[in-house]
Amino acid sequence: MCFLTIMSKAQSVTVTKHAYTSDNKAFVEPEFPGGAKAFNKFLSKNVTYPANADDNETHGAVTLAMAVEPDGSITDIKIIKGLSDVMDKETIRLMTFSPKWKPGMQGGKPIRVRSTFTINYALIGDKR
């Protein structure tokens, strides 16, 4: 597991990588353009906390599964363990809005890779 935290003026977003699926040791994991720090920055910059949401709806973790396609696009986004309807929808929106990733590679060729990870959300103060 990999824990990454980024703090911005308005929120903290932490991503925990759980798993990538592969049958081959000559495998390269998919990666957000610019790596983990850039992914955290993308999430922190683009997350929207609804003004009318309660704190217990916006603070906590959302675990999701998704596929990174050979062209780097994100598909098949599913919430495995949600936080609230509002933040589950926001997580799906963020991942749908994500730029294309560097695809997973196997044998030098891009492949579809399913991954599961957790995004932890927390507002710092009340910056909605």
Amino acid at 7: M
Evaluate if pTM is beyond 0.75: yes
Q: Per-residue pLDDT for 126 more than 60? A: no
Average of pLDDT values for 50-54?
A: 77
Q: What kind and span of H or E run contains 86?
A: helix 85-97
Supply angle C-alpha 113, 3, 70, rounded to 5.
15
pLDDT digit string, tens, across residues 91-109: 999 999 999 999 999 989 9
Q: Per-residue pLDDT for 9 more than 50? A: no
Q: How confident is the model at residue 49 (pLDDT cuts 50, 70, 90)?
A: confident
pLDDT digit string, tens, across residues 58-77: 889 999 999 999 999 999 99
Q: How confident is the model at residue 56 (pLDDT cuts 50, 70, 90)?
A: confident
Q: Per-residue pLDDT for 83 more than 90? A: yes
